Structures are given as structure tokens and as C-alpha cells.
Amino acid sequence: MKTILIIYSHWPPSNLAGVHRARLISNFLYELGWQPVILTVSSEFYEEKPDNNLSKTVSPQTEVEFVDAKPVGRIRFFGDITLRAFGNLKKRAIEIINSRKIDFLWIPIPSYYTAILGRKIYKKTKIPYGIDYIDPWVDGFPGQEKFMSRAWISNQIAKFMEPYSVKKASLISGVSTPYYQAVLDRNFKNQPIAHVGMPYGFDPNDHKIRLENVDLPWDKIPNCKPLIYAGAILPKSHLFLNELFRTIAKLKKENILDPNVHLFFIGTGSYKEKTIENYAAENGISEIVHEDKNRFPFLHILNYLSQAYGVMIIGSTESHYTASKTFQALLSERPVFAVFHAASSAVGVMQAANAANYLVCWDEETSATEFSQALGNKFKNFAGTKSAWKPNLKSLEKYSAKESAKKLVEKLNQITP
């Protein structure tokens, strides 16, 4: 069996979204002939609140090594955990490589500084390595166009550090090809490199874990029919949100909307644009709209979804948006209302699963009137008397984390002897 060393600075009980990239892929590597070894930072050095239940989602075959990090200190000069643990991660990685046979080093980013470790460890050990793009690095910072802003400075650093980090890499991967295509264009025009796009996917075992004594967000609302959206509000989703709230207000005013229906937006995060509460107030429906921006534990979210009246997904006007939360929504086995760009891969996922009952598609040619009518018809049916909801979940298997792990392993077997 070959062995892959995965460096990612966060690991369960960290509740950061990126943790699931390394976790989901590693969960299936053992059965595909690769022993996963995770090198990470001890949880006592994390800044976020831990989610101790998350350890239930890790495969027992996954080995985990921990290192210490420097504390943040009173003045948060270096908050990035990879910077605080950089020397320890590098030292321990080299020790592991020198003490056992490691066939490949794989580094998901962000944290972007972890990518630098790949080049430095390669220099010392000659172990082939790959960089995995969860998010774009260069030109991936919101607000970077503002000169001398923090985002602008971060982007200038990225333009310098990315070429250095990927120069000796043997593999570039990412959650989809568009996320890393610019990396290939910038750095590998005359030097072909192996690459593979593979979505986060999902582990169906996650959805089988039931937590006891979980307080539901709607427990205190009598006869509530909760419709839930779970996750961050996307920067380019506001066109959809604006029209959706106008539609809901219209349905309510016309007494078409069931008075027991409430909308819950959970874990929306910090964002500068108009808030969910703002949309609700503008449209006079604040009494049925609830937003909690705080991050919720992963398994709590899955339990909320499975016990809701319906699940909502509000996508992006970007055509390449993959909407990984589509799988969570469908696996909840609750009816799903979704709004996507017509070219989003999520549209095909829902159609193939026979789960397009309440799917609304938009593109640049869609008129405002057409979009409004489609939203009204679909949401009215979604929130009211539902048609039979029997999605074909077997169709999702090709999008699973296991299939993504297979794509990675196929490339690894080509690269390694």
C-alpha cells in the first residue's frame, strides 16, 4: 500500500469549511490502496470554537500527526495558523518522510501559506507534491481592487508566492477545473503538468449520524413549518435574494403563503452586502424570517436539514458555481428549493436525481418578468402542498467524495512509481 502525507493546518474538531476537503478525500483513500497520514496543528491552537462531534466523521484508517503552533498573542500580528506553525509543520513533515516510506505529499489550500511548504519539503526530500485549490489564490481576495487594502496586499503576495510554490509541483488539483485553470495558464504554459478537478463530494455516512438533545432553531415557534438555508451568503447571490424576498412578500400579501411557514438562514457568516434581515424588513416579512450569522457545527446542520419542512439553496449568478451544498440538501431527503445559474453543474445534479420539482434557473438572457414568475410558481408549490418528493439518490454516487478520491488516486498512481 502506498502512503500519502496530507498537510492541512486544521482538522476535526475544527469547524472550518476547508477541513472537510482533506477529511472527505482521506476517508476513502485507504480502500483505494493509499494510506492517508494527516499532518495538522493541535486543536488547542485553533481560534475557532471546536466541534467535538466532528471526530465521528473521520475514517478509523486515517492516521493523524499533530504539531504545536505559536499562540496568537495579545496583538494579533500573525493570525494565520499555518504561519504560526510553519516551522513545526516543515520539521515534522521531513521527519515523517525520513522515518517511513511516503509516496506523495498533497496540500489543500487555503491556508495559502501551506503551499510554500510543498516546495520547501521537496527541496529537502524530493518527494513529489501536489497543490489542491479549494479556492483560487491569485485574484481570489474580495476587495483586492482597492489599492493598499489588506486584500490588495494579500493578492500582491500571492502573485509572488504562487509561482514559487507550484514550480516544482507534480500535480495541480482543485474542487473544479475553473478554480485552478488560471494557475496552469500562468505557470505551466511550456511545462505540462498533471491536473485533476474533483468536487468536495460527500460521505453518505455523515448523514447517518444522529445527535441527541439538539435544539432546533424553530423549537419555540408553535406549528412552525421551517424552510432552511444553511451556509454563507454568496457575494453574487444578491440578485436572486432580492427577487426571492419580493416574491415571498407578494405570496404572503395575497394570502397564498401558509402562515406557519418561517424562513431560517443559518450560518450565513459576516458579509458586507445587504443582509437577510435587511431584505426581510424592506419587504415587510421580518416576522417570518430569521437569520443567525454564527457558524454552526457540521453535524448540527445536517440534523437541522433532515428535520426541516424544506431546504433552500440560493446559488450564484456565476456560471461556474458548483454548489457543493446541493448534495447536503438532497441527502437530507427533504424537498429542495434551489436557484442557480442555468450553466451551473448543480442544475444537472438535481435534474439527474429527479429533484428539479422546485428548481429555478437563471441566465443573462432571462427577463426580470420571466424570472419573477418562475420564482413565484416554484416557491408557492415548495412552501405549500408539495408534490411527491422521491429523488433518485443513487444518481449522486458519481459526485461522492469516494469518486473524487478515485480521480485523485488515478493521477497519483500515474505520478508515483
Q: How many CB atoms lie within 10 A of CB 124?
A: 12
Query: In the chain, what are the domain boundaries?
Result: 2-203+400-415, 206-396
The set of cell numbers assigned to 331 is: 441527502
Residue type, 358: Y
Whether the CB-CB separation of 2 and 103 falls below 8 Å is answered with yes
- Asked if omega into 332 is within 30° of 0 (cis), the reply is no
Mark out the alpha helices in 126-237 (DSSP H runs). Answer: 150-166, 177-187
**Strands 289-292 and 261-266: what pairing?**
parallel
Whether the CB-CB separation of 118 and 167 falls below 8 Å is answered with no
For the four alpha carbons of 27, 109, 17 and 10, in that order, the dihedral sign comes to positive
For residues 264 and 256, what is the distance between their CA atoms, to the nearest angstrom? 19
Full strand arrangement of the beta sheet holding 261-266: 289-292, 261-266, 225-230, 310-314, 336-341, 358-362
Whether the CB-CB separation of 363 and 339 falls below 8 Å is answered with no
For residues 385 and 265, what is the distance between their CA atoms, to the nearest angstrom? 22
β-partners of residue 289 are: 263
Fold of the domain spanning 2-203+400-415: Rossmann fold (3.40.50)
Q: How many CB atoms lie within 10 A of CB 362?
A: 21
* Residues, the chain: 417
For residues 80 and 138, what is the distance between their CA atoms, to the nearest angstrom? 17
**Residue 230: which H helix or E strand, with range?**
strand 225-230
pTM of the model: 0.82
**Residue 35: which H helix or E strand, with range?**
strand 34-41
Full strand arrangement of the beta sheet holding 104-109: 63-67, 34-41, 2-7, 104-109, 129-133, 171-174, 194-197
β-partners of residue 85 are: none
Q: How many CB atoms lie within 10 A of CB 376?
A: 20
Burial label, 51 (beta-carbon count in 10 A; 0-12, 13-18, 19+): buried
pLDDT at 271: 81
pLDDT at 75: 66
pLDDT at 387: 66
β-partners of residue 64 are: 38
What is the dotted CATH code of the domain comprising 206-396?
Answer: 3.40.50.2000
pLDDT at 321: 74
For the four alpha carbons of 186, 191, 192 and 196, in that order, the dihedral sign comes to negative
pLDDT at 325: 85
pLDDT at 331: 94
For residues 56 and 13, what is the distance between their CA atoms, to the nearest angstrom? 10
Whether the CB-CB separation of 410 and 211 falls below 8 Å is answered with no
For residues 20 and 218, what is the distance between their CA atoms, to the nearest angstrom? 27
pLDDT in tens, the chain (417 residues): 999 999 999 999 998 889 999 999 999 999 999 999 999 999 999 988 889 999 999 999 999 999 999 988 766 666 789 999 999 999 999 999 999 999 999 999 999 999 999 999 999 999 999 999 999 898 887 777 788 888 888 889 989 999 999 999 999 999 989 889 999 999 998 888 999 999 888 999 999 999 988 899 999 999 999 999 999 898 889 999 999 999 999 999 999 999 999 999 999 988 878 899 999 999 999 999 999 999 889 999 999 999 999 999 999 998 877 667 899 999 999 999 999 999 998 999 999 999 999 999 999 999 999 999 999 999 999 998 666 788 999 999 988 999 999 999 999 999 998
